[in-house]
């Protein structure tokens, strides 16, 4: 049965731009266009910060930020075989972006690599060090 699910993550003090970027990166893997709404049962529209739908998630998945700053993932998993995987991928990608940005602010050169099934994100961080004489 179709219904809108709201999943509150453990992420606090959510940065809206990073949340949008996380959704865009995952949507790209599904050749989907990011919008500011998703649809649910009987084609009802639900506003969100960023969301998308595709053949694998026909009603859509998106993100919102609660009044307390927590990241929420919303969507209708009806007729979707990958909804839970994508939901986790959005949360993981958000965390990876935040972590990579923190490393960059500390002076590291950062490269992220994601495997094809979106089950693992590897962050390579290299610090340039100088030999003191």
Q: What is the pLDDT of residue 132?
A: 54
Where do the structural domains in the chain lie, given as residue ranges? 5-94
Q: What is the pLDDT of residue 72?
A: 94
Give per-residue pLDDT as tens, 5-52: 889 999 999 999 999 999 999 999 899 999 999 987 778 899 999 999
pLDDT band at 130 (very low <50, low <70, confident <90, very high): low
Read off the pTM. Answer: 0.84
Give per-residue pLDDT as tens, 94-108: 999 999 999 888 888
Q: Would the pLDDT of 120 be above 70?
A: yes
Q: What is the pLDDT of residue 116?
A: 64
Q: Would the pLDDT of 1 be above 60?
A: no
Q: How far apart are CA 127 and CA 56, in angstroms?
A: 40
How open is the CA angle 127-98-53, to the nearest 5 degrees? 135
30 closest CA partner among 78, 79, 86, 81: 86
For 5-94, which CATH class? alpha beta
- Give the mean pLDDT of the chain: 86
């Amino acid at each position: 049965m179709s219904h809108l699910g709201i999943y509150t993550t453990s992420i606090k003090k959510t940065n809206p731009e990073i949340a949008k970027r996380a959704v865009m990166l995952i949507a790209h893997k599904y050749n989907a266009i990011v919008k500011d709404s998703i649809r649910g049962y009987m084609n009802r529209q639900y506003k969100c910060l960023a969301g998308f739908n595709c053949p694998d998630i026909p009603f859509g998945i998106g993100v919102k930020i609660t009044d307390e700053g927590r990241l929420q993932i919303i969507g209708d998993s009806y007729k979707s075989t990958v909804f839970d995987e994508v939901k986790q991928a959005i949360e993981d990608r958000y965390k990876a972006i935040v972590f990579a940005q923190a490393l960059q602010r500390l002076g590291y050169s950062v490269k992220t690599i994601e495997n094809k099934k979106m089950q693992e994100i590897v962050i390579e961080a290299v610090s340039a060090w100088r030999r003191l004489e």
